[in-house]
């Protein structure tokens, strides 16, 4: 596949969040748990992708909904990081997500609150504003849909962008993932768990994952399916049947929070810098690996990601 040249990245986040993280010695029931000083950061799929891409030196524009004081803080924190931000006001309060690290065990506990449901008019504004950005931009639609939002919102959003000639990457879950697979997105990225839920099969081996991924890719209209395998890397299945296994380097994992978003950001960065999709995924694997080396909800360090890139191995597979 020839390189997909783009100038920058526009991300679309329907359900952003304020990510709050802290640590305690031990998580136990009933007792008051005295946490360390919290860290607050803007979050949600597309928001995190824009933040990481900006760190890589790519022009990144974050288009997101914004509700209440929490939404205003998310926007303010994004702007403080230097990310160009376009916020669409909605009723309700932007959600919060909490990550509590247990220092005695190294475990992380994640609590994700629901977000407010945007109106159809707000979704129309998201589409309009995403399309109004530079036409060369790659568009990343990432994150969950809030409760009460029709799953077809995802396919309508992506179809509106691809019909106008935009190149789109999608990272979502649940019924919205099924809708994304009906579009002409360049790439859709489910996790192994999401692939299992999508197919209804228990995926116990890599052969199970490969077979299910090929089946889903064959029945979809997207350009490629990338199944993230956690610390193991990822599996790419393209529309022409090409299958490639990416193996991540082994590192000490501090927190998996933000690893998937860093993976997508690395892929988008590679595409923006002129690499083809297969090459860009290697950078994404390195970025996702770098993210797990950081504590709490911190995202990847681009310098660390680039140093890990040479350790990513690529294994073409036969169908």
Q: Known catalytic residues?
A: 261
Q: How far apart are CA 14 and CA 153, in angstroms?
A: 10
Residue 167 exposed, middle or buried by CB count within 10 Å (0-12, 13-18, 19+): buried
Which alpha helices (H) appear in the chain, and where do they start and end?
45-55, 68-80, 120-131, 152-162, 175-180, 192-199, 206-219, 259-272, 277-292, 302-309
H-run or E-run covering 146: none
What count of other Cβ atoms lies within 10 Å of the Cβ of residue 39? 15
Residue partners of 292: CB distance under 8 A and separation at least 6: 231, 251, 253, 254, 255, 256, 259
Residues comprising the chain, all counted: 319
Coil, helix or strand for 92?
A: coil
Chain centroid to Cα 99, Å, comes to 17
Residue indicated by tokens 């399309």: 131
Q: In Å, how far are 17, 63, 222, 239, 260 from 115, measured between CA atoms? A: 8, 16, 28, 34, 20
Whether the CB-CB separation of 73 and 285 falls below 8 Å is answered with no
Asked whether 270 and 288 are in contact (CB, 8 A), the reply is no
How far is it, in rounded angstroms, from Cα 161 to Cα 123? Answer: 13
The Cβ of residue 111 has, within 10 Å, a number of other Cβ atoms equal to: 10
Cα separation, 316 vs 244, in Å, equals 4
């Amino acid at each position: 596949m020839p390189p997909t040249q783009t100038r920058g990245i526009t991300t679309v986040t329907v359900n952003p969040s304020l990510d709050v993280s802290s640590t305690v010695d031990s998580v136990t029931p009933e007792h008051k748990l005295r946490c360390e000083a919290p860290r607050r950061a803007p979050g949600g799929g597309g928001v995190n992708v824009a933040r990481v891409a900006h760190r890589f030196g790519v022009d990144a524009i974050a288009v997101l909904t914004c509700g209440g004081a929490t939404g205003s803080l998310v926007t303010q924190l994004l702007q403080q990081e230097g990310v160009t931000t376009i916020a669409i006001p909605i009723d309700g309060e932007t959600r919060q997500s909490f990550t509590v690290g247990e220092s005695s065990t190294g475990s992380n506990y994640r609590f994700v609150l629901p977000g407010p449901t945007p109106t159809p008019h707000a979704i129309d504004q998201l589409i309009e504003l995403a399309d109004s950005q530079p036409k060369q931009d790659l568009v990343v639609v990432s994150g969950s849909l809030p409760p009460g939002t029709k799953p077809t919102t995802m396919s309508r959003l992506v179809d509106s962008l691809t019909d106008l000639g935009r190149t789109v990457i999608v990272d979502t879950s649940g019924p919205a993932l099924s809708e994304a697979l009906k579009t002409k997105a360049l790439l859709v990225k489910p996790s192994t768990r999401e692939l299992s839920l999508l197919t209804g099969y228990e995926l116990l081996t890599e052969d199970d994952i490969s077979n299910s991924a090929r089946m889903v890719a064959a029945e979809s209209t997207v350009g490629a399916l990338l199944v993230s395998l956690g610390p193991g890397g990822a599996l790419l299945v393209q529309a022409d049947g090409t299958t490639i296994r990416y193996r991540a380097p082994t590192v000490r994992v501090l927190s998996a929070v933000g690893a998937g978003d860093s993976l997508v950001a690395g892929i988008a960065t590679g595409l923006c810098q002129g690499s083809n999709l297969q090459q860009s995924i290697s950078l994404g694997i390195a970025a996702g690996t770098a993210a797990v080396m950081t504590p709490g909800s911190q995202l990847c360090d681009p310098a660390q990601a680039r140093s890990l890139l040479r350790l990513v191995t690529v294994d073409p597979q036969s169908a």
